């Protein structure tokens, strides 16, 4: 596995080493020991989540706050998504900055999104199956969010807004300056 830094502090791209032959392929999706050695970050995960969405679905920007904050290791198991992380840690040198990457079933790339970040993705294919490994358990009362189209963030979701399919929660999320994180 190769670990690459993103422009955001503590946010990483994980590229697997893929072994292919006439039977198919094999790769190590995650190795906690290697991850911790290469990043210095805790790689212990306690909850796995999967979502399936259709083209145009935008999920985000979401996070868990306080003692229930979560780091996530995300990947796309089927289809293609544009995955976005936003640094919401006020003491970070990259506070208020975002980074996006295309995650696909074919490229098998993962992104590590640390605690204190907002996260979201938009679906760019007919359907996509998305995987989240979380290092803390979900707690509904600790949900936080930031409006997907906040003008202070200027996130390019790679799909036009008229094609976006959003939840009521995401439509009504507070803006970045409201600090619901």
Phi, psi at 9, each rounded to 5°: -60, 130
Chain-centroid distance of CA 122 in Å reads 11
Whole-angstrom Cα distance, residue 90 to residue 181? 10
Strands (E) located in the chain = 2-5, 12-15, 18-21, 24-27, 47-54, 58-64, 72-78, 80-87, 98-104, 110-113, 117-123, 127-134, 143-145
Per the CB < 8 A criterion, the answer to whether 168 and 57 are in contact is: no
Active site amino acids: 62, 132
Handedness of CA 114, 118, 123, 128 (dihedral sign): positive
Bridge pairing between strands 98-104 and 80-87: antiparallel
């Amino acid at each position: 596995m190769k670990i690459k830094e993103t422009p955001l502090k503590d946010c990483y791209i994980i590229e697997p080493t893929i072994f292919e032959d006439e039977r198919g392929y094999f790769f190590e999706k995650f190795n906690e020991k290697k991850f911790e050695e290469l990043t210095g970050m805790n790689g212990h995960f306690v909850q796995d989540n999967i979502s399936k969405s259709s083209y145009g679905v935008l999920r985000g920007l979401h996070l868990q706050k306080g003692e229930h904050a979560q780091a996530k290791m995300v990947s796309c198991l089927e289809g293609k998504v544009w995955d976005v992380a936003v640094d919401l840690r006020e003491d970070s040198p990259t506070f208020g900055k975002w980074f996006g990457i295309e995650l696909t079933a074919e490229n098998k790339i993962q992104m590590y999104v640390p605690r204190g970040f907002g996260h979201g993705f938009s679906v760019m294919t007919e359907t996509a199956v998305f995987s989240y490994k979380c290092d803390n358990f979900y707690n509904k009362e600790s949900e936080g969010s930031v409006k997907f189209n906040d003008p202070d963030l200027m996130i390019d979701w790679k799909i036009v807004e008229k094609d976006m399919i959003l939840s009521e929660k995401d439509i009504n999320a507070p803006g970045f300056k409201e600090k619901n994180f």
